[in-house]
């Protein structure tokens, strides 16, 4: 199911992973944030694109998502420090 869900279709794998980043922030799933941020960057997402996906998650999730987004930003920093 995962392979089918994240395969290129009407949306690219990168776009789907960016959507998953935002959802992960909203549901406060740290392992999901880490996985989907990594997958998004492997699919070609830039730091700016991932950051915007995190911002969308914050907008939709309100205060609680702001707190969980801290973890996502740490993951993002780790990936792009390299």
Look at residue 21 and give its three-state secondary structure: helix
The one-digit pLDDT tens for each residue of the chain (82 residues) are 888 889 888 999 999 999 999 999 999 999 999 999 999 999 999 999 999 999 999 999 999 999 999 999 999 999 998 6
What value, to the nearest 5°, has the Cα angle with vertex 33 and ends 29 and 39?
145
Q: Determine the Cα–Cα distance for residues 39 and 48; give it in Å rounded to an integer.
A: 15
What are the residue boundaries of the structural domains of the chain, listed by start?
A: 2-81
Question: Which fold is adopted by the domain 2-81?
Answer: AhpD-like (1.20.1290)
Q: Determine the Cα–Cα distance for residues 14 and 82; give it in Å rounded to an integer.
A: 20
Beta carbons of 40 and 30 less than 8 angstroms apart:
no
């Amino acid at each position: 199911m995962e392979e089918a869900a994240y395969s290129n279709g009407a949306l690219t794998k990168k776009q789907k992973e960016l959507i998953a980043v935002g959802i992960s922030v909203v549901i406060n799933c740290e392992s999901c944030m880490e996985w989907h941020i990594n997958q998004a960057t492997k699919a070609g997402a830039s730091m700016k694109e991932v950051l915007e996906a995190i911002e969308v998650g914050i907008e939709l999730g309100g205060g609680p998502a702001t707190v969980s987004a801290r973890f996502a930003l740490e993951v993002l920093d780790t990936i792009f420090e390299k």
